[in-house]
Amino acid sequence: MQDTPDRYSRHTLLRMVGQGGQDKIQKARVLVAGLGALGSTISILLARAGVGFLRIVDKDVPQLHNLHRQILYDEMDVSLGIPKVDAARMNLLSAASNVEIDAINQEMAETNIYSLLDGIDLVVDALDNSETRFVVNDAIVDLKIPYIFGGAVETVGNVMTIIPGRSPCLRCIWPDPSSIVGHARASTVGVLSSVASLVASVQVTEAFKVLVGDIENAINGILVIDIWKNQFHVVPVEPRPNCTCKKICSQ
Ligand SMILES: [Zn+2]
C-alpha cells in the first residue's frame, strides 16, 4: 500500500516525537530477540510505528498453550506448524508493508551473536532464558548498542534500559549468571497475559526514547512491576565496581 503523509501523524503530533523523532524511528535498525509474548507485542508495535528495519530472531513454532499471550500467532499457525519467524513476518508485513523484516530462524548464541548484531542500532530483549540474555548483554556492551532488557512471569515484570557507557549492565546486577538460572519460568508457574503485554509496552516506550534521542527520560534503574498488586517502582542500580564488563561499562 502507498504511504500517505499522515500515516504516522498520531505519533508526529506528540511533542516528544515530532517529525524529527519519527524520521529517526523510520531510519532505525532494531533487533527483537525472541518472539514469544514480549516479542509479539514488541514487534507489532515497532513495525506499526514504522521502524525501518526489524530483525526478528527465534527458533520455535507457535503452540496452542501460548496463544493467550503470544498475539502474533493464530490457530492456523499452530496447525501448520510453521516457524514463528515466518508467521510473524507475514503478520507484520500485513500491517506494515513498508517495514523491512529480516526473519532469522535461529537460537541466539555466542556463535552467531555478532553476525546477528551486525548493523543493528538497538536490541529489545524478549528472550525466555537468562543464559542467552547474558550472551546478548556481553555483546551489546562490547559493541555499545543500547539494549532494553525485559522479562515477565506470573504477575511480575522487569524492565531495564542499558545504554553502554552510561548505565549499568545485567552483570552489574547479577555478577554470576548461574545465580538466576532456574528462576521461575512461564512453563512452570504461569504468566498473566496482561503483564507480558504491559512489560512489552514499557520496553517499546523505552525503545522510542532511545531512538528519538531522549535517553534522559529512560528508566534509570530497573522497573519492577506486580500488575496484580498494582505495584510499580524503580529500583536504583549502580555500576558494579568489579563488574566483568566494568572496563567497557565505565568508558
Ligand atoms: Zn556491568
> What's the CA-to-centroid distance between 246 and ligand 1, angstroms?
5
Spans of all domains in the chain: 9-249
Distance CA(31)–CA(54), nearest Å, equals 6
CATH code for 9-249? Answer: 3.40.50.720
Distance CA(213)–CA(206), nearest Å, equals 11
> What's the CA-to-centroid distance between 46 and ligand 1, angstroms?
27
HEC per residue, 87-131: HHHHHHHHHCCCCEEEEECCCCCCCCHHHHCCCCCEEEECCCCHH
- What confidence tens digit (pLDDT) does each residue in 99-118 have? 999 999 999 999 999 999 99
Q: Which three three-digit cell numbers place residue 227?
A: 500488575
- Residue 241, pLDDT > 90, answer no
> What's the CA-to-centroid distance between 169 and ligand 1, angstroms?
4
> What's the CA-to-centroid distance between 172 and ligand 1, angstroms?
4
Contact 104, 85 (CB under 8 A): yes
Q: What is the pTM of this model?
A: 0.95
> What's the CA-to-centroid distance between 171 and ligand 1, angstroms?
5
> What's the CA-to-centroid distance between 19 and ligand 1, angstroms?
35
- What confidence tens digit (pLDDT) does each residue in 120-137 have? 999 999 998 889 999 999
Residue with cell 504491559: 198
- What confidence tens digit (pLDDT) does each residue in 62-71 have? 999 999 999 9
> What's the CA-to-centroid distance between 144 and ligand 1, angstroms?
12
